[in-house]
Chains A and B, each alone.
Chain A
């Protein structure tokens, strides 16, 4: 079972308290009606499937209830970092350095 750091509670807690909520930084367009079919399809369905660091959303469901973002390595399953919703995407190179 993974340990996950909730950036709102500032505590590292077992995975069972959290739920996965899909890829992060997929921003709902300001004016959906102005989107072309292709753009809307991109927003709705097209997701990354990286082997390695993945930006993704989690929710501290059985805790504070907040949604937050994380970078997780899909190979090792390890969390490289977690950060609050709305915070900018962290720089990947600085995170992967610590991975040896």
Chain B
């Protein structure tokens, strides 16, 4: 058995040894150990280095509040997690663990020079040290900070585990399965109430696991616990262990993370690593207990200095003596019991040092019986020992004066600064807190949620008090749910109720300015730092926190917040409630990204919408780009072609003969009903009344502010039916806007709006031979300029399929868009592809579509407009119906700012040196003006154009419409480019190519 394991103590199974490694060295622990308890059983206290000063650190606690003992855990490729608390991670055969923040080794660490240079790293050092010289920032300070920052090393390989998400609905959720939680569950589990009891630990029991001496209703605590857990299960209570309630959200929704595999030596193949539970509970009982506070004195962070209650837990729950010669340093009765338990287990307790003048007689008697020296009215002023504490320096305090110090040799210091109720989840509910002067802590007051708080988390101390309060609270929530459970009363013998006093940092006879008395272990914040922050003007605890980083580490100040508050309040000369408490925020303990992501990763991260023709594009070598949630064919490179070459070929082929394009993602809304035309007149800027069935019109949609929201070609299929198209990304937004006006402004209109995007596959044919290809396949429409001119639409048959045929063009060539029922899309595509071979048909993607439309000056809403562009700014005043009484945006267009001169207007740009401009580049009128120059617009679209024989660009330029032929300048990092303002149409301004 390991050196520090105590026979007959603890709940671990020493008959089942477990081997694991820490920094490459192999250790033996027992089934049921955590990494921390197993290392302590082997006499190892040094478990890590601190974040800022790289000081040697050991476990200070035994639970999830642990700030120091952060380790990396590994389980083969991809399964590495940094910052795991050694006090929580259960060991299993083969587990590999490593310490953090050290180089080259934990015992010899170079970063520890930071400790010697601690004067440089005082509060606010980020703000002070790195201010000058200015040019040092990029080259020296930032790389240094980046290299030094961060706890642990994040894994770089993909996480091979999977994570699950579940919902759970229950009547009563109880958080914390200590005495009060267990009693609350027993009281509430009546008359079919669905009760869920969760605990972050591997087993239920809470404090009872560390206090086996208690007798509950005549039964030893652990016997009672086993029977109670079984009884609760029989009553139908759902008990969830290794499950942490991480956050309390609106209306009694609690987020919980269940860890399913981190403790298992062999991974089950079909079990997620973690499961995120979203629980909606009708009533919640918070029974999270209390957390012990450290005492703040010089050297209180040395390995071997730990919380007394945690030492008691290591002994009673894990059967581990944290030291053979411990000294106890306390301001609270509870640590006396820890001393007694350790002494009874064979430790030679060197002394109990209490800061108080008087202590209960029974405690003094207990010490006397065990031959433990007692030092009352003492303070602690230092520790020694390089990698492990070997002495504690204490001084008597009389009348506020610190007397001469002397040292007590020891191998562990067990400290207790009293206890802080765990109010984290209660605070998430926006619950109000009340300061309690007697307990020197905040206690829960009111909460807007259906939530009660029980036991030690509302300041009650002792198992009996916790049990009875839990039972009362369980009854209270059952009453609220209309049940009337019987009253439960528990009697506990060998209970350990106690009181104590609260300190700021302990008084010292040495220079407090040089004391390394840690408040926040994880962020290396000392009492001196907090006082400095106050001296430098920080008044609110929120400012003190951010200036010093107290409470900002991954432990979220579980141990440091109240000590920090007490010290800051003292420095400010105010009462604690006047200084205030920082806000607790979820999650309660660090939570993996995997748990939050759940199923939403890899291919399930986001929906990928594919058209019916997507498979053909993939088979034919398309390169795809995401557009909204769609994946669209971007271009179709042939062997050896890069993007530019492929796009150029596709553009030329389309203008020369025939291009085919999958336009299925184009959003489609069917506007139907007797008032459809009236609705269209009101929504769109254009007039619709005179548009005959069978004809199309380019429609512009504005907001009531007068700015362009969307555009698209709209076909009138019949008197009461419009086939509206919108931009691919704008579909949901446009339909939402239409529904909004229809439902809330014009409910009298008899119109139905239906999204039909997915109902149709849409294939665009463009090019001089488009009509020739299509004509033989179309039944019911004569594809001539006379019978079916540009901007026509008709219901007909194409290649035997029912179709809505549009003659429209987004390229300036003869163009058709064929809509067929979605599943027929690929068949039609292949039919057209085959028939088009005689015309050297060319499949093109979205990039070519963009080039072709830019050559014609057709805008892309959202690229050439940015939400501040009116139809007039875009040069499309022709699309605004001037004679309509009203439409959305009509009044907006007459707003003073929208009719003022100097608005940015859409123009074409041709560079003098034939270079291609960068989209987004800023434009100036005078390139010789001093920097910062006045920017008068920006480039919105820019492409190489074969048809124009040169690069072309669209741009928004101040007053651009009145500056045709003028020159603007585009300053770039290496040079300034001059460009001429032109029309936005670069190809075929007469639209001659649209004629068949």
Contacts and interface: CB of A to CB of B under 8 A. Distances in A.
Given A2-B250, A32-B886, A67 B740 contact: yes
Contact of A28 (B251, B253, B745): B745
B890 A33 contact: yes
A40 B448 contact: no
B602 interface: no
B827 interface: no
A86 B747 contact: yes
B885 interface: yes
A57 B741 CA distance: 13
A37 interface: yes
Interface stretch (B124-132, B336-344, B891-899): B891-899
Contacts of B744: 57, 67, 85-86
A62 B249 CA distance: 22
B868 interface: no
Contacts of B743: 66-67, 85
A46 interface: no
Q: At the interface, is chain B mostly helix, strand, loop or mixed?
A: mixed
B251 A40 contact: no
Given A44-B705, A65-B739, A66-B743, A33 B891 contact: yes
Contact of B891 (A32, A61, A76, A78): A32
A33 B745 contact: no
Contacts of A78: 250-251, 448
Given A44-B705, A85-B744, A59 B890 contact: no
A9 interface: no
A77 B705 CA distance: 30
B132 to A, nearest CB: 41
B251 A3 contact: yes
Interface string B689-708: 00000000000000011000
A19 B886 CA distance: 28
Given A67-B739, A67-B744, A37 B448 contact: no
A33 B430 contact: no
For chain A, the bracket of interface size reads 20 to 34
A86 B746 CA distance: 11
A12 B510 CA distance: 64
A35 B278 CA distance: 50
A29 to B, nearest CB: 8
B736 A59 contact: yes
A28 B896 contact: no
B892 A44 contact: yes
Q: Which of B278, B448, B890, B896 has most A Cβ within 10 Å?
A: B448
Interface in B720-761: 736, 739-740, 743-745, 747
Given A40-B895, A86-B747, A77 B739 contact: no
A59 B738 CA distance: 13
Contacts, number: 56
Given A21-B740, A32-B890, A33-B886, A1 B249 contact: yes
Contacts of A15: 250
For chain B, the bracket of interface size reads 20 to 34
A76 B249 CA distance: 12
Contact of A35 (B736, B745, B891): B891
B739 A40 contact: no
A42 to B, nearest CB: 12
A48 interface: no
Contacts of A77: 250
Contacts of A41: 895
Interface string A65-79: 111000000001110
Nearest to B167: A14
A97 interface: no
Contacts of A32: 704, 886, 890-891
A32 B703 CA distance: 13
B740 A2 contact: no
A43 B888 CA distance: 13
A84 to B, nearest CB: 10
B704 A44 contact: yes
Contacts of B890: 32-33
B451 to A, nearest CB: 14
A10 interface: no
A91 interface: no
Contacts of A2: 250-251
B896 A40 contact: no
Nearest to A99: B448
Q: Which of B249, B278, B736 has most A Cβ within 10 Å?
A: B736
Interface in A24-38: 28, 31-33, 35, 37
A1 B250 contact: yes
Contacts of B740: 21, 59, 67
Interface in B228-277: 249-251, 253
B704 A28 contact: yes
Q: Which of A2, A28, A65, A66 has most B Cβ within 10 Å?
A: A28
Interface of B: 249-251, 253, 278, 430, 448, 704-705, 736, 739-740, 743-745, 747, 885-886, 890-892, 895-896
Interface of A: 1-3, 15, 19, 21, 28, 31-33, 35, 37, 40-41, 43-44, 57, 59, 61, 65-67, 76-78, 85-86
28 contacts: A1-B250, A1-B251, A1-B253, A2-B250, A21-B740, A28-B704, A31-B886, A32-B886, A32-B891, A33-B886, A33-B890, A37-B895, A37-B896, A40-B891, A43-B704, A44-B704, A44-B892, A57-B744, A59-B739, A67-B739, A67-B743, A76-B448, A77-B250, A78-B251, A78-B448, A85-B743, A85-B744, A86-B744
Given A1-B249, A78-B251, 15 more contacts: A2-B250, A15-B250, A21-B740, A28-B704, A31-B886, A32-B704, A32-B886, A37-B896, A40-B891, A41-B895, A44-B892, A59-B739, A67-B744, A77-B250, A78-B448
A-B complex: 7 closest residue pairs judged by Cβ atoms? A32-B891, A2-B250, A67-B743, A28-B745, A3-B251, A1-B253, A85-B744
